[in-house]
Structure formats: structure tokens, C-alpha cells
Chain A
Amino acid sequence: MRLLTHNYLQSTVKGTEKGYPLKIEATTIEYEESPFDAEFVRSLIPKIDYSTVLIGIQQISDKLEESNNIQGITIPDLPESIENEDLQEDLLKKLHTVLFDIHVVEGDLVCPDTGRRFNIKKGIPNMILHADEI
């Protein structure tokens, strides 16, 4: 699961007040570089929730620190806001790395409201709701 996907996932289990963003509790994180396309990243900016990106990357960073970051993944520094930022290629590259190249392969997504866990296995989050949650 990439952070771009995480940006859109929410929990709307019956009775949940605010199920977004989901907290990332990763157990396995991988890094896979992908070709950079500035135009593509630029086109994504209006479509994502930037604060969620920051929260997500923080949660992943924390986990990497905990496990001593054996793979040596470097998480780029992102600014607090990109509203008035000049979208230079440098920044776009960092955003690209954060959105596309970091994968949560195993772990859970946890609802901030109810604590309901959505499991991630082999990179695939399971969002299926049970009959009583719909």
C-alpha cells in the first residue's frame, strides 16, 4: 500500500464519527524506486490531502526508527504546507518518493475513532466491512 492509496482510505463502519485518516501501524515497510514524472506529481497535488500525507509519513518514520531502519530507507523532509509553496522539481521529487516509493507491505490501518483494524497483508489492505458494520 502506497501513501497515495492511504490518502483515500477511510472507515465508515456503522457508528463511526470520524474514520479518517486511518492510523498506519506498519510491521513491514519496503522501498521501491519508480520513474519520476513531474507533471504527474503536479497533477496529483490538488487531489490529495496533504496533511494526511504528513501524518502518514510520520507514522512510517516512527516505525522505521523503532526497527533501526535496517533497509536504510531515507524519508525526505517535507514542508508543513504546500499551499503557497513554489512547486519546484526538488519538492516534487520528494513528494514523488513519499507517495509512490514507500510501501507498507504488512501491518494494520486503525480507525482513529473506534480502533477498528483493517489488516494489510502482502501490500493489500482489506477494507471489507462485515455485515453488521454496513
Chain B
Amino acid sequence: MTNNTDMEHHSEISHNRYNVLIEFAHIHLEFQRPELESVLSLHDIAIGRDCIEVPLPSSIPTVENYRPFLILSFDYHYAKEKFNLDDDGYVIQSDMSRFSKIDRTKPTIASVLSRCTLIRSAIELWGAGPSFDSCVEHARQLSSGCAGRITLENCMKLSSSWKITIHTLGTKFNREEQNDMRMKFAFFNLPGKVQMVNPTNEFLLIREVELDPKGTPLSQERDNFLSPPLAVYYGRVLGGIRDWRGNGRLDQFSLKKRSYLGPTSMDAELSLIMTNLGLVRNGSFCFDPFVGTGSILLTCGLRGGYCVGTDIDIRVLRGRSDEENVLSNFKQFRLNRPDLIRSDNALYHRHYRMNKPIYDVIVTDPPYGIRAGARKSGTKEEKIRAIPEDRRHDHIAQTKVYPVSDVMGDLLDVSARTLVMGGRLVYIIPSMRDFDVEKDLPNHECLEIAHVCYQPLQTELGRRVVVMKKVKEYDPSLRESYLSSVWINGPESAEKCANIRERLLEAAKLKPGYEEKAAYRKKRRQITREEKKKQRAKHV
């Protein structure tokens, strides 16, 4: 029901539609849109189909650098049907519920968007423009559009307390200047009193400036007039608080406190993003074939998934003690215990009878030899000796090295076989910057790539999170054929990830100061060894 003949003076942001400005954190840039799209799809919302992305206003014709903002524009009636637009106060839901009945009441936009780890906040956009004055002008037009009119009317009805917060990045305005800016919006004549501490409604006036790749303002000018804004936005804060990070929802800080952490534990933020990309929700059947210390599986559990984890290494599964293991992590967060099995993913079809696909999500950080080497069943020896019956229980079956190309091939094949149609596989692959996403990633006829997101770790090394969807039914008789077509460029592509440790070492050796650093590290290791010896001597 858009009225296209409406005149919008300074921007294409129509007041006939319900507009939301999203502010992202300035990290994990490549993950932001895929995460947002994934979380929206959990509510059956697709950008392009159910809402549109409106270009940001800009005072500069072409902005090279990344802008941590996005405007989603909804048809008002759609928004009213889909969401609870009242959104007053603190309504961010913690998704700590598990297996609970599906909440049929309409969610608020904040509760939908706050699931995105990378979104800092969202505002109901009342005005926007490439300059302060154009933003004010645009805001004045709010009630000229059907959506804007209703929005304003709703605000006028409640005599709730309110305040305006000014969010300016890189520029400082004194109190007088700030009040001047606030007064420019006084024409709204909102009832209710201004309350600086915990008002019901918070309005946000954002002065956006251009940022450099690290997220700091490009211009170091002290004089505000010499560094004009890129855009100015004004709107009502959704979810009751201006910055969602760490507030009342699943956040990495509490995850960092979990009792069992190992060298390969996924950093909490990434596992939160991965479970969003995998569309984990209440009742999702989740599987991690390389569960290790269970950090990713834990996040699945926190999002309400039923969790299964397997690993070939019994030591990680059992953990360090009864108080420090995968199960204790789940217990710490009051989740039901996951099902853990010691098995070999290379022999998945041998251990498990899969007549029907069962998993909704497979999310994992496969072993690549950087932190934990990959192993599979079997022996290096030529002659295979049978183990006498009485020794079988305690016998630690020999394992041999499992080449990365096979790790990935098996992972994709197991996923293709055990995922339900439309189910998602989310995995991490370390890669150097020079990695051909088209040709070097593993393929499977039954799976389609949905997203590939790169996270730089060091100058040359980074992680890619790959999201695949099951699009075709698996035919067990074609297993050999599937496995032989995993690598377009041959298994050498896999080796690009496998030998990263060596490549890192080579790259580091070429850097200046390497010798000194290596000597220093050697000395430290010696010291630590001597300390440990002393400790052991004490206990004897």
C-alpha cells in the first residue's frame, strides 16, 4: 500500500512505510548481512520479498568505507500484522527457553533483531538525511505519510516519559550545542515529561561519520564544522535500550565463564553467529560431529536445540574431571544433557543406521591440524593384529592421521545424508586470504552454498564460515561418486587449509625480529618446564 506519488524531499525513505534503522557493531563485517538474513528467515521474513533495503542517505556521493547501518523498510500493514509495534520498554527476550511451546504472540521487532549478535540496536526511523537540517526537515514530514502518521499518533497517545540521546561518533558537542540539536525536534510536541534516567521512550539522534576499515572515524578534525556528517538519523529506540550488546540476551561474556574450556574451544561470539547462520531454534535437532569441548553444541542447547555430539577423542569427551567436561558446561547453564557418542565421523555410516535424515542443523569446527590434529580409526601398521577379547574394553584403538581432504569430504557426505531437506551445515575452514571461494571449497551434489563469511585473524590467515543447505535427496548408492567429486581442484585445495601451520611458520620466519621472538619463546618454555618440574617434585 505504498503511495508512490508522495513527495519526499531529501531521501527515498518514505513515511508511508514503516522504516527501521539497524546499527551494527564494527566487527565480523562479512557475517553481518548473512546473520541478519538468517535470523529474519527464522520468522519467515526475506529482504526483497517482505521488506526492502533502502539506500542510506549520504553527504558524499561514493563512500568507500564500510558503514555499520542498514535501513529496512516495511509495508505498514505487513509490519502491523507481523510484529507487535508497541514495543514499550525492555522487551528483548532471552532465548534461554528450551523445548518450550512456540510463542504464538507477535514478537516485537527488537526481540527478532536482538538475536543477531552483530546488531547493536535498532530504531524506528522518524527522520534521516545527509545533513542535520535535512534530517530535521524529513522528520517534519513524518505525519504526511500514512505509516508515519500512525506512529506519531501512537506516541502522542501515551504520556510516557522520554528523552533524546545524541550519538555522535568522533565528534564532541558541548551541552549547549546538544540542547540546540534536541530543540530542533521540539516541533513534535510530545506529551509526557522529559526524563533523563530510565524514560519509557528513548529517542536517538545519530550523527554518522565515515569510518576507516578499523572502525575509527576517518577525519581527525577537532572542529565539527570541518568534518560534516555522512548522514544524520533520528528515531525511537526499539527494545528500550540503546545498545544491546551484552544486555539481557545470550552473550559471549557469560559463555566465557563456562567451566570447561579447551585449546580448541570456539570463541563464544563466533559460535553464537554460527548457530544463527544454522537457523537453530527451539526443537532443532542439532549435531556436531567434532564436538571436542562442546562449545558450539552448548550454544545450540542455549538456543533450544536438542544436542548430539560425537568425537573420536575420548579424552575431550570425558573432559578433565567430573566437574570439567562437556556435560558440566550444559549443567552449568541448566540445560538438559546432550547425547555424546565416541565415534569416528569417517565411519559414520558404519556406526549409525540412518534410514531417514534426522538433523536440522549440523554445526561444527572440524579439526585442521592447527590446534587439534584430526584422526580416524585404523592403524598405520601394515599387519593388522586382532585384539584379544579380554583386552578390548581398555584398548585404546589406534588412530591414524585423517587427511583434511577426507575430513571435509566425509563431513559433507554425512551432512548430505543426515540433514533434512533445507537443513543447514555450518562449518569453519581456516584459510589464507588467497583462497578461491569458488574453486577451493568442497562440494556435494546434495548441498548448496548459502553463505561464505571471512573473519581475518592475522594479516594472511583468517577463518571462513561456510553455510550450506541441503537441496537434494541423498542416494546411498552414489556415495563413492559423491565423495570423488568433492574437490573441483583436487585434494590440493584441502591441503591449502591443512598446511596452514607450516605456511604460517614460513610467513613468520620472513618477518623481521623473528629470531629474537623465537629465542624469547624458547626461553619461556624452558622456564615453564622447570616450574612444572618443581611442582611435581613438591607433590612426590
Contacts and interface: CB of A to CB of B under 8 A. Distances in A.
A129 B336 contact: no
Interface band, chain A: 35 or more
A14 to B, nearest CB: 10
B330 to A, nearest CB: 11
Nearest to A46: B356
B496 interface: no
A47 B358 contact: yes
B13 interface: no
B342 A131 contact: no
- Identify whether the interface residues of B are mostly helix, strand, loop, or mixed: loop
A1 interface: yes
B99 A132 contact: no
A10 B398 CA distance: 21
Contact of A124 (B102, B282, B317): B317
Contacts of A5: 308, 339, 341
A131 B379 contact: yes
Contacts of B283: 37, 39-40, 43
A128 B393 CA distance: 11
Given A8-B353, A39-B283, A125 B387 contact: no
A37 B100 contact: yes
Interface stretch (A28-36, A53-61, A71-79): A28-36
Interface residues of B, number: 45
8 contacts: A37-B99, A124-B314, A125-B342, A127-B343, A128-B342, A130-B395, A132-B387, A134-B378
B352 interface: yes
Interface in A1-47: 1-2, 4-5, 8-10, 12, 20, 32, 34-37, 39-40, 43-44, 46-47
A129 B312 CA distance: 11
A94 interface: no
B333 to A, nearest CB: 14
A124 B397 contact: no
Interface of B: 98-102, 282-283, 306, 308, 312, 314, 317-318, 327, 336-337, 339-344, 347, 350-358, 377-379, 381, 384-387, 392-393, 395, 397-398
Nearest to A96: B99
Contacts of B327: 122-123
A58 B347 CA distance: 29
Question: In the complex, which of the residues A34, A103, A125, A128 has the most CB atoms of chain B within 10 Å of its own CB atom?
Answer: A128
Nearest to B396: A128
Given A10-B353, A40-B99, A128 B377 contact: yes
A131 B131 CA distance: 71
A134 B379 CA distance: 11
A117 interface: yes
